[in-house]
Amino acid sequence: MSGEGGEAKRKAAIKIPRSVLRARKERPEFVRQEAWRYERLEEKWRKPRGKDSKMRLQKRGWPPLVKVGYRSPRKYRGLHPSGYREVLVHNITELEGLDPKVHAVRLAGSLGARSRLRIYEKATSMGLKVLNPPRGVEE
Task: Evaluate whether residue 124 is within a structural domain.
Answer: yes
From 108, 109, 100, select the one nearest 129 (Cα to Cα): 100
Name the residue range of residue 108's domain: 85-130
Predicted pLDDT at 17: 93
> In the predicted model, what is the mean pLDDT of the chain?
90
Task: Evaluate whether residue 53 is within a structural domain.
Answer: yes
Instruction: Say yes or no to pLDDT of 2 above 70.
Output: no
Predicted pLDDT at 11: 66
Do both 68 and 19 map to the same domain?
A: yes
Predicted pLDDT at 41: 97
In this structure, are residues 48 and 65 in contact, taking their beta carbons and an 8 Å threshold? yes
Task: Evaluate whether residue 8 is within a structural domain.
Answer: no
Instruction: Say yes or no to pLDDT of 7 above 60.
Output: no
| Bridge partners, 112 (sequence order) | none
Do both 57 and 91 map to the same domain?
A: no
How large is the average pLDDT for residues 78-98?
94
Q: Considering 29, 47, 72, which residue would you say is the last residue of a domain?
A: 72
Do both 63 and 92 map to the same domain?
A: no
How large is the average pLDDT for residues 65-83?
93
How large is the average pLDDT for residues 37-66?
97
Percentage of the chain modeled with pLDDT above 70: 91
How large is the average pLDDT for residues 110-129?
95
Task: Evaluate whether residue 103 is within a structural domain.
Answer: yes
Count the neighbouring beta carbons within 10 Å of the beta carbon of residue 44. Answer: 9
Do both 19 and 68 map to the same domain?
A: yes
Task: Evaluate whether residue 1 is within a structural domain.
Answer: no
How large is the average pLDDT for residues 15-33?
94
Give the total number of structural domains in the chain: 2
Task: Evaluate whether residue 122 is within a structural domain.
Answer: yes
Task: Evaluate whether residue 80 is within a structural domain.
Answer: no
Q: Which amino acid is at 48?
A: P
How large is the average pLDDT for residues 57-69?
96
